[in-house]
């Protein structure tokens, strides 16, 4: 039994139940029950007993629809009996053949609906589109299962009045998938891989250059994952990574998807970010990085989305392309206390780290050491804090 195959069927099965008249929340619960049932009864070896009548492996989706619909009817009957409204389920339409139209896309829109907070949208997407159960999602985000269950049921209530057949905004879906990819803890559920799977599935359902751009961006970063951390868990900066450990197959796929998207001439922020990642991936050594082109892409990104993090990263690229003095000048144009960067309760966290790096390259080791120590104090995560503290210690030992 292939768990990922099973989970990949989740959104279309939920959508079929909704098309047949189930409300989204009940349909989603019924499909979760069917997934549990599938894990319990499906043969672990697909070749086992192919002659069995009703072998789910012949038509896994049909099997899930049948079981989920039965669960939905049972739940509705129980509900109806409780409320003594027997006529309710009699009006349910009889199960028909699965519709040809695939509503997977509608489910992405619903789970990323703008009325949801980011954390609710992430949780609902992972459950209703990803087919993960509440316990897995709770573990992935290090919160109690009861908390995650409440977050999901509140999210379902929030979208209960949303019409299922209305087109949504792809941009909101992409933001949710980006969050799943970028801000996951590394627990039992590989959220980065799950985000890639869901983005791939979305790209198959809708032809949109930014969906392709995000998929390329994820692949290009995922390809470097093995090289990003040392065996002791410490961060390895891009310039010091062993590029032999980058996954060239995944890089090639990312580059190909990106090139096809860019050829459409509808540039967006994810394509621009992916282009920067592709230029890094393309350099055989850190010294051979095409920083001039990277600066040009950062200029595009600034034009598309003028946020302080982009301008901070641009200052790093300028420092590499035109020298540390030019980088420091670009940095000086950035106010590190800009309000849009304070959502974590920090001023722009990496401002001091970038300044430290540029000062070190400029030969001012005393300033660099002081700024590295300051940056460590502001680091939003432990791995970065340790890395920055080590940089400060390295420079202090040399003076």
Partner 1 sequence: MAKYLLLKHYRGAPAPVNDVPMDQWTPQEISAHVQYMNDFAARLEGTGEFVDGQALAPEGTFVRYDGEGRPPVTDGPFAETKDLIAGWMVIDVDSYERAVELAGELSAAPGAGGQPIHEWLEVRPFLAAPPTITE
Alpha carbon distances (Å) from 52 to 5, 67, 238: 21, 17, 54
Near partner 1 by CB under 8 A: residue from 3, 86, 183, 256: 183
x-marked contacts with partner 1 along 379-398 as a string, rule CB under 8 A: xxxxxxx-------------
CB-side neighbour CA atoms (13 Å) of 70:
9
Taking the C-alpha atoms of residue 6 and residue 89, their distance in angstroms, rounded to an integer, is 28
Q: Does 55 bind partner 1 (CB under 8 A)?
A: no
Alpha carbon distances (Å) from 181 to 149, 194, 215, 249, 279: 21, 8, 10, 20, 20
By CB under 8 A, which span of 92-100, 166-174, 180-188, 369-377 interacts with partner 1? 180-188
User: With contact defined as beta carbons under 8 Å apart, do 110 and 168 qualify?
Assistant: yes
CB of 316 to partner 1, least distance (A): 8
Per the listing, tokens 């392709």 go with: 212
Q: Does 225 bind partner 1 (CB under 8 A)?
A: yes
Token pair listed for 233? 């868990």
Q: Does 184 bind partner 1 (CB under 8 A)?
A: yes
By CB under 8 A, which span of 48-56, 198-206, 217-225, 329-337 interacts with partner 1? 217-225
Taking the C-alpha atoms of residue 370 and residue 129, their distance in angstroms, rounded to an integer, is 47
User: Which DSSP letter does residue 85 get?
Assistant: -
CB of 245 to partner 1, least distance (A): 16
Taking the C-alpha atoms of residue 313 and residue 320, their distance in angstroms, rounded to an integer, is 11
Taking the C-alpha atoms of residue 70 and residue 95, their distance in angstroms, rounded to an integer, is 10
User: With contact defined as beta carbons under 8 Å apart, do 39 and 3 qualify?
Assistant: yes
Q: Does 315 bind partner 1 (CB under 8 A)?
A: no
Near partner 1 by CB under 8 A: residue from 57, 275, 316, 354: 316
CB of 151 or CB of 311, closer to partner 1: 151
x-marked contacts with partner 1 along 133-172 as a string, rule CB under 8 A: --------xxxx-xxxxxxx-x------------------
User: With contact defined as beta carbons under 8 Å apart, do 381 and 397 qualify?
Assistant: no
CB of 273 to partner 1, least distance (A): 7
CB of 92 or CB of 229, closer to partner 1: 229
CB of 93 or CB of 345, closer to partner 1: 345
Q: Does 238 bind partner 1 (CB under 8 A)?
A: yes
Q: Does 25 bind partner 1 (CB under 8 A)?
A: no
Near partner 1 by CB under 8 A: residue from 185, 260, 335, 340: 185
Contact partners, residue 67, CB within 8 Å, separation at least 6? 33, 34, 37, 38
Using CB under 8 A, list all residues that contact partner 1. Answer: 117-120, 122-123, 141-144, 146-152, 154, 179, 181-186, 192, 217, 221-222, 225, 235, 238, 273, 276-277, 280, 313, 316, 342-346, 379-385
């Amino acid at each position: 039994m292939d768990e990922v195959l099973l989970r990949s069927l989740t959104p279309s099965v939920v959508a079929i139940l909704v098309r047949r008249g189930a409300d989204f929340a009940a349909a989603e619960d019924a499909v979760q029950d069917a997934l549990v049932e599938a894990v319990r009864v499906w043969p672990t070896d697909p070749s086992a007993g192919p002659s069995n009548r009703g072998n789910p492996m012949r038509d896994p989706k049909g099997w899930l629809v049948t079981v989920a619909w039965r669960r939905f009817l049972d739940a509705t009957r129980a509900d109806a009996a409780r409320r003594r409204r027997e006529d309710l389920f009699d009006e349910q339409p009889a199960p028909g053949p699965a519709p040809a139209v695939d509503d997977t896309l509608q489910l992405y829109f619903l789970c990323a609906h703008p009325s949801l907070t980011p954390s609710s949208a992430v949780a609902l997407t992972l459950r209703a589109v990803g087919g993960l159960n509440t316990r897995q999602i709770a573990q992935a985000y290090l919160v109690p299962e009861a908390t995650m269950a409440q977050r999901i049921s509140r999210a379902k209530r929030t979208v209960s009045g949303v019409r299922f057949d209305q087109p949504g905004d792809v941009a909101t879906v992409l933001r949710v998938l980006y969050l799943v990819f970028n801000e996951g803890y590394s627990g039992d559920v590989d959220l980065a891989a799950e985000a890639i799977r869901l983005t791939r599935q979305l790209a198959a359902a809708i032809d949109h250059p930014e969906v392709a751009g995000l998929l390329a961006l994820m692949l290009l970063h995922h390809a470097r994952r093995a090289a990003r951390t040392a065996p002791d868990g410490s961060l390895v900066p891009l310039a010091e990574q062993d590029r032999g450990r980058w996954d060239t197959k995944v890089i090639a796929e990312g580059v190909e998807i990106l090139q096809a998207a860019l050829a459409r001439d509808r540039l967006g922020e994810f394509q621009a970010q992916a282009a920067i990642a592709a230029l890094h991936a393309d350099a055989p050594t850190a010294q051979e990085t095409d920083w001039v082109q990277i600066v040009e892409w950062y200029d595009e990104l600034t034009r598309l989305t003028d946020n302080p993090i982009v301008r901070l990263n641009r200052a790093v690229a300028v420092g590499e392309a035109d020298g540390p003095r030019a980088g420091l000048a670009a940095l000086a144009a950035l106010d590190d206390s800009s309000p849009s960067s304070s959502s974590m309760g920090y001023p722009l966290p990496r401002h001091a780290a970038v300044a430290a790096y540029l000062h070190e390259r400029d030969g001012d080791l005393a300033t660099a050491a002081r700024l590295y120590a300051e940056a460590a104090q502001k680091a939003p995560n432990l791995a970065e804090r340790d890395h920055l503290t080590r940089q400060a210690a390295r420079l202090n030992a040399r003076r």
